[in-house]
Each structure stands twice: as structure tokens, then as C-alpha cells.
Amino acid sequence: MVLVKKIFIPCLGLIIASLSYNAVCGQAAAAPDEGVYTADQALRGGTAYQKQCASCHGSELDGVGPYPPLSESEFLSKYDGQPMLVLFDKIHTTMPADHPGSLTRPETADILSFILSFNKFPAGKTELPSDEESLKKLQLQKPAPKS
Ligand code: HEC
């Protein structure tokens, strides 16, 4: 009996230690200032953006004529603090306005990455996902202004 106890307790310690290790690492991966897209993805998205979006929203994302800009604080404030899914769905279901519904989910994620990159959100090591569940968990948070 005594022997079993002695073995059991150190094992339990190990299990608890590994559990809390996972919890700490899991949190680090979701830190808000960590990039949520990759530089390559934004590059791909940029090519698609120039072909399919720039005619209305401008190659500098500043809006052409009556069309709204996709940069600057007014645009960002609208989506700040909301799940990434909101902006993703807006693009996926309503854009390009002259051909809505034509973008696949991965294409939408690429173009959204480009828009984030243009708006100075940091790039990271994992691509922006295109599935609803993951996009719901990501929050769009304006990067803190550099002082
Ligand atoms: C034919 C012109 C046209 C094209 C092409 C177009 N858009 Fe738009 N876009 C609009 C108009 C008009 C609005 C404003 C009405 C609205 O919000 O639905 C808009 C609004 C938006 C918004 C919301 C802006 C805000 O302030 O909330 C986003 C994001 C957007 N477009 C992204 C895109 C992307 C990405 C593409 C390329 C895949 C694209 N658009 C192509 C005309 C266009």
C-alpha cells in the first residue's frame, strides 16, 4: 500500500505540471498582439485585392468616389472589438459588390489578411483561418498606436 502511494503521488505531480504547462502555452498562442495571418497570405490576398476590389476601394484602400475606404480609423473603429467573423462574412457574402458570393472562403481569408496587413496589424506564424468557429474566436483589435 505504502509503495503504491509513493509512486502515485509523483506521477500526479507530473500530470498536473503538464496540464498547467499546456494552459500557459495555449494562452500565449492567443495573445492579442500576436499576428493572426502570415506575410505570404497577405501577399496572395494583395494580388486578389488589386484584381477584384481596387476598382471600387482604391489600390491604397482609400475608397474611390462614393465607395468606402478599407483603411483608416473610421473603418477600423467599425469592426474594432468584434469577432473577425463579422468582417469576414461582410466580405464573403456581399463583396465584390458587382459579383457577390464569388469569393471562396480561403480567398476571403487571404484578402482579409491583406487588409489587416495594410492597416498595420502584425503578421504572425499561422494563417488566418477561414472556418466559422475559428473566426468567431479571433477578436479584431486595433493595434496600439506606436508612440
Ligand atoms: C463594384 C464596386 C465594389 C467592388 C468591386 C468591391 N466593393 Fe466592397 N463595397 C462597395 C460598396 C458600395 C460598399 C458599401 C456598401 C456596403 O457596405 O455594403 C462596400 C463595402 C465594403 C466593406 C465594408 C466597409 C465598411 O466600412 O464597413 C468591405 C470590408 C468591402 N467592401 C470589401 C471589399 C473587398 C474585399 C472587395 C474585393 C473582393 C470589394 N469590397 C469589392 C463596393 C465594391
| pLDDT for the residue 28 | 38
Q: Residue 115 sits in a domain of what CATH number?
A: 1.10.760.10
Residue type, 144: A
* In the chain, % of residues over pLDDT 70: 76
Q: What is the mean pLDDT of residues 94-121?
A: 97
Is 122 domain-assigned? yes
Whether 11 is covered by a domain: the verdict is: no
pLDDT at residue 21, as a whole number: 45
Is residue 145 included in any domain, yes or no? no
> CA torsion sign, 54 to 55 to 56 to 58?
positive
Q: Which atom of ligand 1 lies closest to the CA of 49?
A: 37
Q: What does 24-64 look like in DSSP terms, one character per residue?
A: HHHHHHT-TTS-SS-HHHHHHHHHHHHHHTHHHH-TTSS--
Asked, for residue 143, whether it belongs to a domain, the answer is no
Pocket of ligand 1 (CB under 6 A): 52-53, 55-57, 67-68, 70, 75, 78, 87, 90-91, 94-98, 103, 111
Domain that holds residue 59: 35-137
Confidence at residue 146, expressed as pLDDT on a 0 to 100 scale = 66
User: Domain for residue 146, yes or no?
Assistant: no
Q: What pTM was computed for the model?
A: 0.82
Q: What total number of domains does the chain contain? A: 1
How far does residue 106's CA lie from ligand 1's centre (Å)? 18
pLDDT in tens, 68-102: 999 988 899 999 999 999 999 999 999 999 999 99
- Asked if pLDDT for residue 143 goes beyond 90, the answer is no
Pocket test for ligand 1, best of 95, 110, 113, 119 (most atoms within 8 A of CB): 95
Give me the mean pLDDT over the 29-34 stretch.
Answer: 53
CA 133 to centroid of ligand 1, rounded, Å: 24
116 occurs within a structural domain: yes
Any domain includes 19: no
Q: Which of 10-14, 81-85, 100-104, 127-131 has the lowest mean pLDDT?
A: 10-14
